[in-house]
Amino acid sequence: MLVTSALITGLALGSMYGLLALGFYVTYAVSSTVNFAQGSSMMLGAVFAYTLAVTFGWPFIPAALVALALCSLYGLIVERVAVRPFTRRGSSAWLMATVALGIVADNAVLFTFGKEPRGFASPWASGSMQIAGINVSYLQIAIPVVGLALAAALHLFSRKTVYGKAMLAVVQNADAARLMGINVPLAIMLAYAASTLFAGAAGIMIAPLFNVHSDMGTLFGLKAFAVAILGGITSAWGVMIAGLIFGLTESLITALLGSAYTQILSFALVIVALAVMPNGLFGRAEVKKV
Amino acid sequence: MKYLIAALALALGATAVHAQTIKIGLVTALSGQSARAGEAITRGLAVAIDEINARGGLLGRKLELVRRDDEATPAKGVIAARELLFKEKVAVLFGGLDTPVSLAIVPIVNQEKMIFVGPWAAGTPITKNGAKENYVFRVSAVDEIVNRAMLQYSQKTFNAKNCGMILVNNPWGESNEKGLTAALNAKGMKPAGIEKFEGNDVDVVPQLTRLKAAGADCLFLVGNVGPSAQVVKSLDRMGWKPPIVSHWGPAGGRFTELAGPSAPSVHFVQTYSFFGKQTPVGTKVLKALMAKYPDIKGPGDVTPAVGVANAYDAMMLTALAIQNAGSTDGPKVREGFYKIGRYEGLIKTYERPFTPEVHDAVNENDYVWTQFIDNQILPVGMKK
């Protein structure tokens, strides 16, 4: 029972980490930059969905879709305001600028949404079924399914569509892609929109299990970055699987050894894994052609 | 030149007005998950200050409340406390909900010989801080006493024999781990298990599963509103419904909204309830609260009541200490606290509440067991 329960918890949490980490992957692959405040994008997804569904009384599905659209819009803003002005000049200040924009978003939510955490009730979270003798809520099953489905969609998009192939071309050689008529800035913008969309989806799904407040994404964002590095930030499936591994490791350590060891051991294992495999579990070493 | 003289006159005038008030400082969470608790403490202090000012103030001077937000963070609490002590020159400093913040402020006030009064944070080492000259007083629950009461309540109400601990992973949780272990040891008992969780944990199922597997027949819960709600939601997902005997963390916010339909299953300790028959002091304070705050229409709106009640009594007892001292000088006010005799307060009638050995005015005989019913904190069993 102990292990089964930990596996279910770990899969749901791991999918969340994986989804956020996919956001790191998608922008890094196209532009070698990331939005370090992915946690804030996740929080925005939950806050937008809560505001539309609870405050304005919209049905959940339209509220979630509009929230995701708003998250994508936020991604475009991140790219335009906190990334492009710096990469254009060859500066690495986008590192700090994305963090700063995240802090601005967190505080803007604190002032507008309110100081108190809010409960986002969902029938998905309260309904449950029995699996191997333990109670599992529908949401705990839905989260890994949606997470893996989004990862698969990203994979199919990049392999099967013209736009996806254009993005892959940018990944391989931005200059050559530009010469072939591919709009590189647009590809990067789309990558940022997708990145925050994934984070927003994670926020909307986690909200009924958690509570909605302005700093709900901080710890998630940090863990997701560890997951992205662990998976090898250049592999989409790699970061998703690393997310699942991290989530499962966390809950198995808690269940088998006790919560006192969770953070120490899970992050220590990340360090060990990276020491043994410096490019991450599924990443490939960058080859510099001269 | 005449502008300079005018500016000087204005500055002197401002200083004179300043000198007329005794500043009362408050460092508490005014934002974030504990914002409601901070507001409750503010209201308790404000009503007491209004009452004192209406009687002519203290030492011929009016009282003035100056607040700072610690955002439930020790580092920010220390900055705020320093600002209030050294820049605003408050006579007395009141603390907030969070034990880690209060623990960070304690060494400063003891070093500076300034009075620090705790109306909420219950960590045992806040008042039992080991300082030779202790300037910290408290009108609130104390962990080690609450812990004895939690064990007693679990046995009496639920006939529990093997309780497990689920504690937030911070100094407050640690303080309670020690207190609960000591309370169990005193009765020759051991906990079914001790589990910790982070304030930002989404899922506490693994920890709770360990406790369930260890045969826990009740849970001792210690955590603020958000974390406590996460425990209740995780229990719901597991379909496990053990009795939950909690410290007063759930009282600080929208617990029913966050924890969902199982919120009433948490029985938690309080020092006061505005429901039921009130003493004349209770009636007076409730009337004053309703007059001052339009959102308070009845006892159900005074929430969390414990913050209001503790802060009210703490301010009144502090006023007596200042009066006894005849000064706002820290060491003199400290002696003034020891000289307080009988005082008919809101929580109880205090009889020499403070001595050099005892800096806590409230004990287990003053606790009330409560639960959330429809967003209101009611004594257990008052309403189904």
What's the pLDDT tens digit per position in B360-379? 999 888 898 999 988 788 88
What is the tally of structural domains in chain A?
1
Subunit contact A137:B237, Cβ cutoff 8 A? yes
Q: What percent of chain B has pLDDT over 70?
A: 94
When pLDDT is averaged across residues A113-129 and rounded to a whole number, the result is 77
Residue numbers of the domain that contains A177:
2-276
Tens-place pLDDT, residues B13-42 = 444 445 589 999 999 998 776 778 899 999
Subunit contact A118:B257, Cβ cutoff 8 A? yes
CA–CA dist B63, B315 (Å, integer): 11
User: Which listed CATH number (3.40.50.2300, 3.30.70.930, 3.30.1490.20, 3.40.50.360) goes with B144-270?
Assistant: 3.40.50.2300
- The closest CB to that of A211, out of B35, B210, B229, belongs to B229
β pairing state of B376-379 and B368-373? antiparallel
Q: In the 8-state DSSP scheme, what is residue B294?
A: T
User: Which fold is adopted by the domain B2-141+279-363?
Assistant: Rossmann fold (3.40.50)
Q: What percent of chain A has pLDDT over 70?
A: 96
Instruction: For residue A16, tell me if it sits in a domain.
Output: yes
Instruction: For residue A287, tell me if it sits in a domain.
Output: no
**What pLDDT is attached to residue B252?**
67
Give the best residue of A115, A118, A212 to mutate against chain B (max B CB count within 10 A): A115
Cβ-contact B170, B163 below 8 angstroms: no
Q: Is the pLDDT of residue A268 over 70?
A: yes
3-state secondary structure chain A: CHHHHHHHHHHHHHHHHHHHHHHHHHHHHHHCCCCCCHHHHHHHHHHHHHHHHHHCCCCHHHHHHHHHHHHHHHHHHHHHHHHHHHHCCCCCCHHHHHHHHHHHHHHHHHHHHCCCCECCCCHHHHCEEEECCEEEEHHHHHHHHHHHHHHHHHHHHHHHCHHHHHHHHHHHCHHHHHHCCCCHHHHHHHHHHHHHHHHHHHHHHHCCCCCECCCCCHHHHHHHHHHHHHHCCCCHHHHHHHHHHHHHHHHHHHHHHCHHHHHHHHHHHHHHHHHHCCCCCCCCCCCCCC
Subunit contact B36:A116, Cβ cutoff 8 A? yes
Tens-place pLDDT, residues B303-342 = 788 899 999 999 999 999 999 999 999 999 999 999 999 9
Give the best residue of A3, A9, A111 to mutate against chain B (max B CB count within 10 A): A9
Instruction: For residue A281, tell me if it sits in a domain.
Output: no
C-alpha distance from B258 to closest chain A C-alpha (Å): 4
C-alpha distance from B106 to closest chain A C-alpha (Å): 27
Cβ-contact B133, B61 below 8 angstroms: no
How many CA atoms are closer than 13 Å to the CA of B88, on its beta-carbon side? 23
Instruction: For residue A286, tell me if it sits in a domain.
Output: no
Give the best residue of A42, A124, A128, A210 to mutate against chain B (max B CB count within 10 A): A210
Instruction: For residue A247, tell me if it sits in a domain.
Output: yes
When pLDDT is averaged across residues A155-165 and rounded to a whole number, the result is 83
Subunit contact B31:A2, Cβ cutoff 8 A? no
Chain B nearest-CA residue for A119: B258
Backbone angles phi, psi at B224, to 5 degrees: -75, -175
- The closest CB to that of B209, out of A2, A115, A116, belongs to A2
Interface check B211 vs A, CB under 8 A: no
What residues of chain B lie within 8 A of the CB of A263, using their CB?
198
β pairing state of B266-270 and B342-344? unpaired
- The closest CB to that of B203, out of A9, A118, A258, belongs to A9
What residues of chain B lie within 8 A of the CB of A16, using their CB?
202
What residues of chain B lie within 8 A of the CB of A116, using their CB?
32-33, 35-36, 253-254
**List of long-range contacts for B123-132, beta carbons under 8 Å, 24+ apart:** B123/B99, B123/B171, B123/B172, B123/B175, B124/B175, B124/B178, B124/B179, B125/B175, B126/B95, B126/B99, B126/B102, B127/B359, B127/B360, B128/B359, B131/B106, B131/B107
**What pLDDT is attached to residue B3?**
53
Chain B from 164 to 193: CB within 8 A of any A CB: 169
Structure tokens at A125: 């979270």
**What pLDDT is attached to residue A232?**
86
Q: Would you call B136 helix, strand, or coil by DSSP?
A: strand
Subunit contact B200:A216, Cβ cutoff 8 A? yes
Instruction: For residue A213, tell me if it sits in a domain.
Output: yes
Chain A nearest-CA residue for B208: A255
What CATH number does the domain containing A234 carry?
1.10.3470
